[in-house]
Structure 1
Amino acid sequence: MKEKVIEECTSIIQNSTNIVVLTGAGISTESGIPDFRSRTGIYQETPEELLSIDYFYDHPKKFYQFAMENLHHPRAVPNIGHELLAKWEEKSKITHLITQNIDGLHQKAGSKNVIEFHGTMKTCSCMNCGKTYLAEEMVKRMKESDHFYVCNHCETQTEEHHYIKPDVVLFGDSGQWFTYDGFKTITDMIHRADCLLVLGSSLKVTPFSTFPRDRQPGVPLIIVNKGTTAYDLEPNTYVIQNSIRDTLKKIDLNLEA
């Protein structure tokens, strides 16, 4: 049965020229990055409050210690799944890639049209002047100063107004894409797609989970994820509960045959 679905998905991808890809933690776990929401994920030990904007303001030092230990993975490298997506983009199959991940592995693999919906851990920015600091720079500052999280490029009346925050979207926070124009840009992309490919996401976290609803009627939805999603039984949906790396490899071999 799985081989038949892979053949059907190969045919869909073969005949598509405007694929929009949605990726979640499942594609990064295959590069050794731990996920958040599985039985062994970070959230089993750490409540979501720790990753909230309020916690960041109340306990910036503890927040950074946790973030740099658990969210910053400078040694991680893309796996074959990331590389094949970059290859399919180069071959004009994939037009846009929207990711929940904050690790930058899609760009490392060569994908260019990437929307980091939840931001990135590669950089941090002053909440007042916007000065950007690389994550590696913040790690260095953590070793050198007790108030490493306070921007020394500008000043405000209240110190916390010029805190340096990682460029990730925290709970209770908003990001570049969490605006009317941001949502419209993404929904327009999906509305124009001739195939939607979801990789390694349980599609449980809103508003990211709502994006598959924006595809046109009849447009195929391919989901490769080890767990189930709320979309699995919808019409024109093809579900493969297997490794992303192995699945994309099989599809790519079929495409090249």
Structure 2
Amino acid sequence: MENGMLEKCTDIVRNSKNIVVLTGAGISTESGIKDFRSSTGIYSMAPEYILSIDYFFKNPKEFYQFAVENLYHPSAEPNSGHEVLAKWEKEGKVSYIITQNIDALHQKAGSKKVIEFHGTMKTATCLNCGTKYSTEEMANRLKNMKEFYMCDHCQTKNKRDRYIKPDVVLFGDAGKWFTMEGFNTVMQLIHEADCILVLGTSLKVTPFSTFPLYRREGVPLIIINKSDTPYDLDSSTFVIHESIGETLRNLNTNLNN
């Protein structure tokens, strides 16, 4: 790792009091979770239509079998990258984490202010009455019930109306943050930040990829990611192509020296 860049980033973090963090699959791969879009990721095993709202309604059993096997990681543990971010939040440096990840590892590490932009795989909700089910319960229902994906707590004329859908944003779907109010909240957080820290995302999938554009002029953008991003050459961008966990550990050590 280039020491000069690490020192520059250390100075930025040291002088920042309102860091907004944007995280993607790259921080979770260091906890053993496969990403979506790499050559070995989930999309190499199945096309995107499996993770669509249409496929969910047409083939709920097959959808759940795929989702539980590939998107649900209850035994995964936070890595040092997650832990440093939680520490920085407690110290008042990190104000919010906005994540594409659905694994809840930020919360497991102790972070409180987390926006799960693409939802979470921890729970599922009846589309009719709103009853919540844990994904662990849904996995057990899958093994033991024929129509496991239908809510037990309500009745409707059309059975599809009471399907239990995982609380993730599927293709063709819209989550709570994919609203005008949700976007405005995210934009405001980024506009107020004095540093944007991007971890483990190539910033190529909209709308998440547009978020750094809403920072104020001159606000530094630190990117720690193995591959390139469209923002790498911006004048106020500082890029490190190294392990997220190792880099954040080194930054934290430098801050304490």
Classify the secondary structure of the residue corresponding to 1:96: strand
In the other structure, the counterpart of 1:143 is 143
In the other structure, the counterpart of 1:204 is 204
In the other structure, the counterpart of 2:243 is 243
1:78 is the counterpart of 2:78: yes
Instruction: Give the structure-2-normalised TM-score.
Output: 0.99
C-alpha distance in structure 1 between counterparts of 2:110 and 2:180, whole Å:
29
C-alpha distance in structure 2 between counterparts of 1:38 and 1:44, whole Å:
8
Q: Which amino acid aligns with 1:44?
A: S
- Give per-residue Cα distances to partners, 1:195-238, cap 9 Å, x unaligned: 00000001111101110000000000000000010110111000
In the other structure, the counterpart of 1:215 is 215
Q: Which amino acid aligns with 2:95?
A: T
In the other structure, the counterpart of 1:13 is 13
Aligned pairs for 1:109-188 within 5 A? 109-188=109-188
- Give per-residue Cα distances to partners, 1:134-192, cap 9 Å, x unaligned: 01110111111110000111111110110000000000000010000000000000000
C-alpha distance in structure 1 between counterparts of 2:228 and 2:16, whole Å:
25
Classify the secondary structure of the residue corresponding to 1:173: coil
Instruction: Give the structure-1-normalised TM-score.
Output: 0.99
Moved over 4 A (4+): none
Could you tell me how far 1:3 is from its partner in structure 2?
A: 1.2
1:255 is the counterpart of 2:229: no
- Give per-residue Cα distances to partners, 1:83-134, cap 9 Å, x unaligned: 0000000000000100000000000000000000000000000011110000
Unaligned runs of 5+ in 1: none
Q: Select between 119-128 and 135-144 the one with higher mean Cα deviation.
A: 135-144
Q: Which amino acid aligns with 2:101?
A: N
In the other structure, the counterpart of 1:36 is 36
1:189 is the counterpart of 2:181: no
Q: Which amino acid aligns with 1:159?
A: K
Identity %: 63
In the other structure, the counterpart of 2:61 is 61
Unaligned runs of 5+ in 2: none
C-alpha distance in structure 1 between counterparts of 2:128 and 2:235, whole Å:
48
Q: Which amino acid aligns with 1:22?
A: L
